[in-house]
Each structure stands twice: as structure tokens, then as C-alpha cells.
């Protein structure tokens, strides 16, 4: 009883507004606003400024983001929408880097992970009217229009074959496939396999990587890579390996979509007593923390999330300022081959 009423009264507490601060400092609301926002071309003597600042501090004033957003027509929030794909620690580090870079520009980043089995694609963007939306998957034309008319100024699609229009920033993941293939071909392998991930949500990522491998194979005059979908369990991986070894011209090196798939392959190889890298070379991608801990340690392609984040932030801020976003990626600093023992 008592606790309930306490909770209620706590909820009922009035908000401290700039009006209250103005009263406390003995000035008009507008003056408070000018002081707090350091509005240019408004001359405020230090004495007044200090009075206002102290009053705000004393009352614990927090400006209402809703009111400010309403007035200014846009917020300082950037929304990143992620599909509920099984993402690993790579996403975590990228998000942390993005947050840091955006906050240097006065923007704050929030992420929305789409729900698992949701009926309607939800519309968080209309709940928080962000200044910009970032997605890692294609956005339908009319959804984009709806976002725009809801006040979103910049919609940046990070991955998608479809949305390759101006303002969008497609990470050149084909380059990852290229580097994988180049590495194993340089090591003397002549027939290459590709381990494709199972979850459909990963399509947009896997497609370009596979394409890179294909391109290199054809440039080198080799047969195209033999593609197997490899779910994350040892038995399936073992089957894939058997398939590759039973081909007329057997596969001796496999490029895996990412390090998790690569680790599945390692587990599968152990099951069928196939030696890695002796009988089969395996190269992963992403360089997740456990890649170095595998048996044998995984050769992989590392993605530099710091420079990735920087480029994304540059694009968004340019678009918000109405400028033309900068050109494309500096691939050289984005991807690095990490050579360990598996290939």
C-alpha cells in the first residue's frame, strides 16, 4: 500500500522547465534559452550567465528533448536498425566505435535490433524521429519515403545490392572474398570451396563475399568455387567436407563466410579425421576473439571497425549538412589478412 502510493507520487512529480529556471534567476525564458545554448550573436554579460547557470544547476534542470525536437524539427539522434541475425562480437565493437565517433559530432547513436518473429516490421523511426537512419539491409522505396516525410534527413544503407544510389555507403565486402581467395591461391591451391552461411538474414553479407571469391578464381583461370551451405554444427560441416573431397577435382582450400562457419568446418574436419591445413586449408573472415583460439588457429580477414565507423560518420554528417558525401572506401586500411595456421 504505502509503497504503491510512494511510487505514484514519485511519478507525479512535476518536470523542471526553463520557465522555472527563468523565475529562479529572475530573467525571461528566452534569456535562459540563449544562455544554455550559447546562441551566437546574443550578448549576455557574465553576471547574468552565471546566475542562470547556477539556477539551472540548483533546480536540476534537464531540457525536454521532446519540446526541443518539436521546435527544431529534428533531433540529434541517429538510429541504427539491425536485423535479428545472429551477430557476433564484431557488431558490438563496430557499434561502440560508431557511438564514440558520432558523439564527437554531437550526435548520439541508438540501435534497434528487430524482434525475432514479429508480424509487422516495426517503425521505431517514427517513435524517436531521428536525424538519420542507418541500416544494414535494403530499405523499400516507400519505407524510405515515409522516413523522409517523418523528418528523417539522411537514410544510409550500409549493405544492399538494391539500394546502390547516391548517399548510400556499401561496404565493399567483395574485397574480403578476393583477399581470401588470393591468399589460398598464392599458397598453391587450385580448387577452392566456399562455405556459405545458413541463416537467410545473412544473405546480404554473404553474397558479395562469395562474388569476390568467384571473380578471383575466374581471373586465375580456375574452376569457380564449389559452394556448400554450412550450418553451425559439426555433422553438417563434416558432410560438406566429404562432398568437397569427393569431387572429380577435389577441393583443397575452403573460404568460409565468417569465422563461425570456419570453426564449424574445423569441428567437422576433426569428426572425419581430416587434417587442417594438411589435407584442407580453411580461411575465415572477421577475426572474432575466438578465431585465434581454434585448433588450429584460424587464418582470417580482419575488418578495421575504427576506420569503418569513421567513414560512416563522415557520410552521415555530410548528408545532414547538405553537402555531398565523400567518395568511397579506402579498402587498404579497412581489411587486413591475419595469417595463422589454418591456411
Partner DNA sequence: TCCTGTCACTGAATCCTGTCAGTGACACCA
Partner DNA sequence: TGGTGTCACTGACAGGATTCAGTGACAGGA
3-class state of residue 7 by DSSP:
helix
Helix (H) or strand (E) holding 80: strand 77-82
Cβ distance to DNA smaller for residue 33 or 319 = 33
Q: Which three cell numbers stand for residue 339?
A: 595469417
Residues 62-121 that bind DNA (CB under 7 A): 63-64, 67-68, 70-73
- Using the contact rule CB under 8 A, the part of the chain among 74-82, 205-213, 216-224, 279-287 near its own copies is 74-82
Single residue of 43, 149, 165, 246 touching DNA by CB under 7 A: 43
Cα distance between residue 229 and residue 195, in whole Å: 6
Single residue of 6, 7, 37, 115 touching DNA by CB under 7 A: 37
Cα distance between residue 300 and residue 183, in whole Å: 10
Residues 218-247 that bind its own copies (CB under 8 A): 232-234
**Using rule CB under 8 A, residue 20 touches its own copies:** no
Single residue of 11, 43, 165, 246 touching its own copies by CB under 8 A: 11
CB 18 within 8 A of CB 68: no
Cα distance between residue 323 and residue 331, in whole Å: 23
Single residue of 18, 135, 163, 238 touching DNA by CB under 7 A: 18
**Using rule CB under 8 A, residue 289 touches its own copies:** yes
Residues 164-223 that bind its own copies (CB under 8 A): 166
CB 158 within 8 A of CB 170: yes
CA–CA distance from 254 to each of 74, 122, 186, 205, 238 (Å)? 48, 38, 14, 18, 13
**Using rule CB under 8 A, residue 327 touches its own copies:** no
Cβ distance to DNA smaller for residue 150 or 293 = 150
Cα distance between residue 231 and residue 66, in whole Å: 46
Single residue of 28, 110, 247, 321 touching DNA by CB under 7 A: 28
**Using rule CB under 7 A, residue 42 touches DNA:** yes
Based on its alpha-carbon atoms, the radius of gyration of the chain, rounded to whole angstroms, reads: 26
Single residue of 54, 126, 249, 328 touching its own copies by CB under 8 A: 126
Cα distance between residue 230 and residue 62, in whole Å: 52
Q: Which three cell numbers stand for residue 86?
A: 545472429
**Using rule CB under 7 A, residue 128 touches DNA:** no
Name the minimum Å distance from CB 341 to DNA: 57
Binding site for DNA (CB under 7 A): 14-15, 17-19, 26-31, 33-34, 36-37, 39, 42-45, 47-48, 61, 63-64, 67-68, 70-73
Amino acid at each position: 500500500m504505502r509503497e504503491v502510493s510512494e511510487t505514484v507520487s514519485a511519478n507525479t512529480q512535476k518536470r523542471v522547465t526553463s520557465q522555472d529556471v527563468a523565475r529562479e534567476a529572475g530573467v525571461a525564458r528566452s534569456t535562459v534559452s540563449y544562455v544554455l545554448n550559447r546562441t551566437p550573436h546574443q550578448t549576455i554579460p557574465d553576471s547574468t550567465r552565471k546566475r542562470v547557470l547556477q539556477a539551472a544547476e540548483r533546480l536540476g534542470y534537464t531540457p525536454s528533448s521532446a519540446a526541443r525536437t518539436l521546435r527544431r524539427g529534428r533531433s540529434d539522434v541517429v538510429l541504427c536498425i539491425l536485423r535479428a541475425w545472429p551477430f557476433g562480437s564484431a557488431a558490438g565493437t563496430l557499434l561502440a566505435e560508431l557511438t564514440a565517433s558520432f558523439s564527437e559530432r554531437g550526435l548520439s547513436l541508438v540501435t534497434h535490433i528487430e524482434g525475432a518473429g514479429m508480424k509487422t516490421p516495426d517503425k521505431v523511426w517514427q517513435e524517436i524521429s531521428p536525424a538519420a537512419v542507418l541500416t544494414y539491409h535494403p530499405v523499400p522505396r516507400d519505407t524510405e519515403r515515409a522516413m523522409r516525410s517523418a523528418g528523417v534527413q539522411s537514410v544510409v544503407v550500409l549493405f544492399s545490392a538494391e539500394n546502390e544510389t547516391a548517399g548510400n555507403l556499401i561496404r565493399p565486402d567483395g574485397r574480403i572474398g578476393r583477399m581470401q581467395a588470393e591468399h589460398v591461391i598464392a599458397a598453391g591451391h587450385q580448387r577452392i570451396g566456399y562455405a556459405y552461411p545458413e541463416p537467410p538474414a545473412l544473405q546480404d553479407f554473404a553474397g558479395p563475399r562469395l562474388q569476390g571469391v568467384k571473380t578471383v578464381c575466374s581471373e586465375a583461370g580456375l574452376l569457380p568455387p564449389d559452394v556448400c551451405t554450412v550450418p553451425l554444427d559439426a555433422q553438417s560441416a563434416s558432410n560438406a567436407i566429404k562432398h568437397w573431397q569427393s569431387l572429380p577435382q577435389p577441393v583443397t582450400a575452403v573460404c568460409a563466410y565468417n569465422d563461425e562457419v570456419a570453426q564449424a568446418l574445423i569441428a567437422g574436419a576433426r569428426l572425419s579425421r581430416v587434417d587442417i591445413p594438411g589435407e584442407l586449408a580453411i580461411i575465415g573472415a572477421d577475426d572474432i576473439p575466438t578465431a585465434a583460439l581454434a585448433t588450429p588457429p584460424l587464418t582470417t580477414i580482419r575488418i578495421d571497425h575504427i576506420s569503418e565507423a569513421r567513414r560512416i560518420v563522415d557520410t552521415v554528417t555530410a548528408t545532414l549538412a547538405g553537402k555531398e558525401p565523400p567518395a568511397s572506401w579506402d579498402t587498404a586500411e579497412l581489411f587486413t589478412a591475419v595469417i595463422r595456421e589454418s591456411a
